[in-house]
């Protein structure tokens, strides 16, 4: 199987062409072309990282200084989703025959943060992000707040929260309600990626402004304590413990209940970095509130946990000292601090224009002709090649019902896996809606590919 999505020379062309867009151009033909380029770069970066090959996508993004553009485009779509998309959903005269262009915009934010998660593991990528790291810190803080909202029954939505089966609805592919459900579900996935991105920033952060932003502006240590405490990627359902791993909720056998997930590890490493690095200790205010919050961690630091992440012994010792001492308060220093600019600039530039942008996009962007849809479908068909998608799986597929290793695929949607027929039948009531939606999407692509042929 070919393990390459694009060649280095193609990737170089894609990276060099990356540019920022004004908000009203989100979803346009030029924007869509760039989205496809970023999608391919993302897939190739994942393949290279998982196979420990030459990570030429990361190297090119660093070489040409394009990481700030990725951050800008991710935040641009985040703003679009919060400010413009709700208006589009409320416009009475907007009933698109095809919602693929809208879906691709909604999906774009996830694509970019996936790429950033892959490349920001490396110090040179964090350094090449330059001042946009400040915007990235703010972005991660917003997403972690969403996760905490989900953990307390707030606004964040997990991917298995669907409409009731019996609810009367329009064709699934053409429903704006479906898009809203997908967008909300996608926020959960994006927020989990932000956990990893934040960890990599804490690994490599040396800028005083970035450290101040994490410790003083957002009090990230206390936010991370709340994530440890509430653990939004773990739940109990029907008497079974489930954890959200590799894009789905999976049942965890009793013997693995205390096994640390990748997300747990990212949060603990972030805390380790923020509390034990010398530069961070000098900046953080260990006042009574912060101290009491941090000491909650001692209850989670079991032998089982430390066996899985031995470095936490140092954090455990630090917390033990914290119980009997009061660290010196941070020195007040007069410094010129940088502030994040990307989101503020986008919002300031478009305030008062949200409805006008929505109406412009209805006319110019999200009411495509049949020929435009055919072209987009052809591009999508090239990008989302099944063999390539399978090669991106982080591990062997798991059964959608019991969570064991699976070898059989749902024959209709090709997207869910099962270990045997019994599990497939048992899981059908839960899988049916997602399966039909996937089939509808596939049929729509097929139809668009062959229209007027």
d(CA 132, CA 343): 10
Looking at the domain assignment, is residue 391 inside a domain? no
Of residues 131, 197, 75, 120, the one with CA closest to residue 337 = 131
- Number of Cα atoms under 13 Å in the Cβ half of residue 335: 13
Write down the pLDDT at residue 443: 58
Looking at the domain assignment, is residue 23 inside a domain? yes
Q: What DSSP element (H or E) covers 104?
A: helix 100-119
3-state secondary structure of 93: coil
Write down the pLDDT at residue 79: 97
Assigned token pair, 61: 């993004």
Looking at the domain assignment, is residue 452 inside a domain? no
Q: How far is CA 95 from the centre of its chain?
A: 29
Q: Which residues of the chain have pLDDT under 70?
A: 1-3, 151-175, 332-336, 377, 379-397, 413-415, 433-434, 436-453
Q: For residues 227 and 147, is the Cβ–Cβ distance under 8 A?
A: yes
d(CA 200, CA 221): 15
Looking at the domain assignment, is residue 314 inside a domain? yes
d(CA 196, CA 230): 17
Of residues 259, 132, 253, 263, the one with CA closest to residue 201 = 132
Residue-wise DSSP of 258-304: TPPPHHHHHHHHHHHHHHHSHHHHHH----HHHHHHHHGGGGG--HH
Write down the pLDDT at residue 3: 58
Write down the pLDDT at residue 171: 42
Write down the pLDDT at residue 223: 96
d(CA 392, CA 452): 34
Q: For residues 230 and 264, is the Cβ–Cβ distance under 8 A?
A: no
The tally of domains found in the chain comes to: 1
Looking at the domain assignment, is residue 152 inside a domain? yes
Residue 339's alpha-carbon distances to 77, 133, 217, 231, in angstroms, are 21, 10, 11, 30
Query: How many residues make up the chain in this entry?
Result: 453
Domain range for residue 328?
A: 8-369
pLDDT in tens, 125-168: 999 999 999 999 999 999 999 999 876 654 444 555 443 333 33
Of residues 46, 34, 35, 17, the one with CA closest to residue 119 = 46
Looking at the domain assignment, is residue 438 inside a domain? no
The pairing of strands 417-418 and 240-245 is: unpaired
Looking at the domain assignment, is residue 430 inside a domain? no
Write down the pLDDT at residue 184: 85
pLDDT in tens, 380-399: 666 665 455 454 544 556 77
Looking at the domain assignment, is residue 67 inside a domain? yes
């Amino acid at each position: 199987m070919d393990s390459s999505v694009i060649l280095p020379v193609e990737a170089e062309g894609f990276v060099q062409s990356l540019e920022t867009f004004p908000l009203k151009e989100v979803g346009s033909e030029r924007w869509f072309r760039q989205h496809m380029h970023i999608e391919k770069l993302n897939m190739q970066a994942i393949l290279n990282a998982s196979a420990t090959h030459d990570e030429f996508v990361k190297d090119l993004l660093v070489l040409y200084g394009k990481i700030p553009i990725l951050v800008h485009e991710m935040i641009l779509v985040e703003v679009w989703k919060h400010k413009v998309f709700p208006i589009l959903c409320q416009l009475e005269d907007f009933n698109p025959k095809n919602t693929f262009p809208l879906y691709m915009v909604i999906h774009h934010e996830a694509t970019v943060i996936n790429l950033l998660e892959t490349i920001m593991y490396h110090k040179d990528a964090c350094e090449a992000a330059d001042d946009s790291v400040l915007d990235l810190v703010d972005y991660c803080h917003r997403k972690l707040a969403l996760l905490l909202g989900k953990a307390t029954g707030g606004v964040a939505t997990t991917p298995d929260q669907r409409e009731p089966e019996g609810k009367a609805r329009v064709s699934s592919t053409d429903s704006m309600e479906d898009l809203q459900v997908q967008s909300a579900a996608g926020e959960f996935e994006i927020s989990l990626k932000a956990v990893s991105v934040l960890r990599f920033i804490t690994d490599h952060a040396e800028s005083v402004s970035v450290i101040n932003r994490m410790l003083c502006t957002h009090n990230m240590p206390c936010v991370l304590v709340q994530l440890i405490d509430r653990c939004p990627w773990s739940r109990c359902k029907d008497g079974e413990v489930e954890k959200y791993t590799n894009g789905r909720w999976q049942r965890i056998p009793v013997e693995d209940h205390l096994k640390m997930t990748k997300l747990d590890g990212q949060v603990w490493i972030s805390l380790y970095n923020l509390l034990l690095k010398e530069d961070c200790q000098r900046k953080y205010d260990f006042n009574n509130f912060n101290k009491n919050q941090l000491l909650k961690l001692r209850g989670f630091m079991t032998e089982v946990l430390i066996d899985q992440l031995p470095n936490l012994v140092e954090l455990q010792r630090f917390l033990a000292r914290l119980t009997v001492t009061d660290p010196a308060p941070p020195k007040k220093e007069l410094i010129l601090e940088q502030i994040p600019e990307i989101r503020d600039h986008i919002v300031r530039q478009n305030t008062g224009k949200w409805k006008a942008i929505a109406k412009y996009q209805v006319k110019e962007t999200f009411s495509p002709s049949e020929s435009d849809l055919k072209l987009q479908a052809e591009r999508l068909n090239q990008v989302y090649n099944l063999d390539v998608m399978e090669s991106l799986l982080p591990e062997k597929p798991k059964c959608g019902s019991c969570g064991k290793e699976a070898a059989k695929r749902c024959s209709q949607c090709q997207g869910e896996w099962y270990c045997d027929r019994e599990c497939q039948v048992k899981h059908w009531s839960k899988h049916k809606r997602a399966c039909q939606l996937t089939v509808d999407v596939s049929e729509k692509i097929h139809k668009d590919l062959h229209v007027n042929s």
